[in-house]
Amino acid sequence: MRTDHCGTLRASDIGRRVSVCGWVARRREHGEHLAFIDLRDHTGLIQCVVDGAHDLRSEYVVRITGEVRSRPEGTRNDNLATGEVELGECEVEILNSAEPPPFQLDERVEVDEMVRLAHRYVDLRTDRMQRNLRVRAKVNGSLRRAMDDQGFVEIETPMLIASTPEGARDFVVPSRLSPGSFYALPQSPQLFKQLCMVGGIDRYYQIARCLRDEDLRADRQFEFMQLDAEASFVSQEEVLSFISVAVAAAVREVTGEELGDVPRMTWHEARERFGSDKPDTRFGMELIELTPVFAATEFNAFKASCIKGLRVEGGAEFTRSRLDDLTDRAKRWGAKGLVWMRVRADGELDSPVAKFLSADEIAGLVVTTGAVEGDLLLIVADERPAVCHVLGLLRLELGRPPVTEGGLQFLWVVDFPLFEALDDDNNPIPAHHPFTMPHADDVHLLDSADPQDFLKVRSQAYDLVLNGWELGSGSVRIHRGDIQKRMFSLLGITDDEAQEKFGFLLDAFRFGAPPHAGFAFGIDRLVALLAGEENIREVIAFPKTQSGHDPLTHAPSTIDPAQLEELGLRLLPVRKD
């Protein structure tokens, strides 16, 4: 039907008679016998000069055949890639009419997302969605090529699997042939890729759909795509290298830029400096250690095991209500309180608590934070994890740049702790999954009589972070039965429970499991940041709203009683608490 795409015509095409197909983006009529039609396809716009356009309307689907010619002097449009030329002597064939679109497709205004999603098929025609989905396709393609080139084998793992109650909530699917039994949709291909290692695949990857029934966010959907990979006979170093190569390929494909070496930071350093295990390193405003400054304080609120602060440049201008608001937020995030101090011209501190501090403490505070006139100091005192957490959130609140600023700051966070805390029975709670290999230097601590020692055990687990978003994580896995048994016993999982939950994996490991390690990262998140979007819905063709609904298809929906009957299901009344 067509010889060319709209957005590709240039001066070098002048004289050719071409056919283009697309949608009527705009119509400019100048009387009965002259009108300009901007025709749009996924490549862009071309102006077509037609003899009368009264029967053409917005978004009509047309085929236009005409001669590419130079625009008359003085009528070129520098804002258009095709602005030097136009189609003349046009023959217009209407392929389909269209109702006026439910919203305007030019991007002069931000249209309500519900309206866009309810008519996503129209929304997809916008430059923004066309660009984002094509960025996504480029990323997928370059990741595939990079993994292929590194000797990884693409293997598809099942979508209908057994439910394992660990981790995120499963989506479940009732079984028709086994009424009362359910499949689960995979949260990740984790166990299958480890089985692939036992199966001698050596290097596996998959662009895998993963599903988790947890609350949605700007960076979280029920279903999302991961580059999932696992390799045998490799160390952590090699995994970081494989993934770095793949990510670099995607970045190169989209931006044309070379990524270079991805910096590393230990989990401990990330928490202490940024109050997060996924630090946004596009900006400073790091957490400042103040515990020694107030080691001997008489101020009760500062008699805590950890005191840290933030220096907000220019923050002395914050109004009292803004400071009260920050204090409220800090409390909601789990702080006992938030101490603020405005640094005045004379070096004095303007703060409700200044009178409780000694001259030495104030002097130490100013020196340690480097505070100068006009700054604001925000200080939290509490247990160390809480202090870091709250200040980390405040730091983001006050300093985080827009998504399109600050470049792409990738970061490997390494040496995660094996356990994040102890439960009420002093059993450690795993920070990752229970198959994560402890750091070789820390294995001896697993035999310690003091449960507190468990929290010091580092694991061979690592995260890839981009601009403060966790892109993904991975680990070296436990491949030996004796270490795995020790781990289960530490976690308070009995042999019977372990067998019931992970029996097929443990069985497999008895038949010759190679040392292996892997990684998985979220493609939606990577694409969103590469596309300059704050929200992964903008890079997903048909996403769901925060409540998990699809305004286009109206999923989730009720099903026919006959379907329930066939599945052996009966519904309970909806609970309204």
Partner RNA sequence: GGUCCCGUGGUGCAGUUUGGAGUGCACGCCGGCCUGUCAAGCCGGAGGUCGCGGGUUCAAAUCCCGUCGGGACCGCCA
Considering only the stretches 68-76, 137-145, 444-452, 480-488, report the one whose residues sit in contact with RNA under the rule CB under 7 A: 68-76
- Amino acid at site 443: V
Q: Is 84 in the site for RNA (CB under 7 A)?
A: no
* Residue list 214-243, contact with RNA (CB under 7 A): 214-220
If DSSP codes are grouped into helix, strand and coil, which group holds residue 327? helix
b/e string for 492-512 if b means 16 or more Cβ within 10 A? ebeeeebeebbeebbebbeee
Q: Is 332 in the site for RNA (CB under 7 A)?
A: yes
* Residue list 118-157, contact with RNA (CB under 7 A): none
Rounded to whole angstroms, the Cα distance separating 359 from 366 reads 11
Q: Which of 2, 5, 42, 76 binds RNA (CB under 7 A)?
A: 76
Q: Is 460 in the site for RNA (CB under 7 A)?
A: no
Peptide bond into 556 cis (omega under 30): yes
* Residue list 405-444, contact with RNA (CB under 7 A): 420, 429-434
* Residue list 344-383, contact with RNA (CB under 7 A): none
Q: Is 558 in the site for RNA (CB under 7 A)?
A: no
243: Cα separation from own chain's centroid? 16
- Amino acid at site 422: L
Q: Which of 12, 89, 91, 102 binds RNA (CB under 7 A)?
A: 102
Structure tokens at 156: 């598809």
* Count of residues of this chain found to bind RNA when the rule CB under 7 A is applied: 74
Residue 356 burial (CB < 10 Å; 0-12/13-18/19+)? Answer: middle
Q: Which of 15, 79, 345, 482 binds RNA (CB under 7 A)?
A: 79
Considering only the stretches 29-37, 282-290, 398-406, 559-567, report the one whose residues sit in contact with RNA under the rule CB under 7 A: 29-37
Q: Report strand pairing: 203-211 vs 153-154.
A: parallel
Rounded to whole angstroms, the Cα distance separating 401 from 150 reads 35
Smallest gap, in angstroms, from Cβ of residue 220 to RNA?
A: 6
x-marked contacts with RNA along 531-550 as a string, rule CB under 7 A: ----x-x-------xxx-x-
Q: Is 100 in the site for RNA (CB under 7 A)?
A: yes
Give me the phi and psi of 92, to 5 degrees please: -110, 125
Q: Which of 10, 12, 17, 30 binds RNA (CB under 7 A)?
A: 30
Smallest gap, in angstroms, from Cβ of residue 480 to RNA?
A: 19
Rounded to whole angstroms, the Cα distance separating 312 from 286 reads 10
Asked whether 9 and 68 are in contact (CB, 8 A), the reply is yes
Considering only the stretches 111-119, 140-148, 349-357, 521-529, report the one whose residues sit in contact with RNA under the rule CB under 7 A: 111-119
Smallest gap, in angstroms, from Cβ of residue 258 to RNA?
A: 30
Q: Is 279 in the site for RNA (CB under 7 A)?
A: no
Q: Which of 113, 127, 313, 348 binds RNA (CB under 7 A)?
A: 113
Asked whether 402 and 396 are in contact (CB, 8 A), the reply is no
Smallest gap, in angstroms, from Cβ of residue 18 to RNA?
A: 16
Q: Is 327 in the site for RNA (CB under 7 A)?
A: no
Q: Which of 125, 212, 273, 516 binds RNA (CB under 7 A)?
A: 212
Q: Name the CA dihedral angle for 238, 244, 247, 252, rounded to a multiple of 10 degrees.
A: -130
Per the DSSP assignment, residues forming a β-bridge with 156 are none
Comparison of 203 and 212: residue with beta carbon closer to RNA: 212
54: Cα separation from own chain's centroid? 47
Comparison of 45 and 133: residue with beta carbon closer to RNA: 45
Per the DSSP assignment, residues forming a β-bridge with 307 are 381
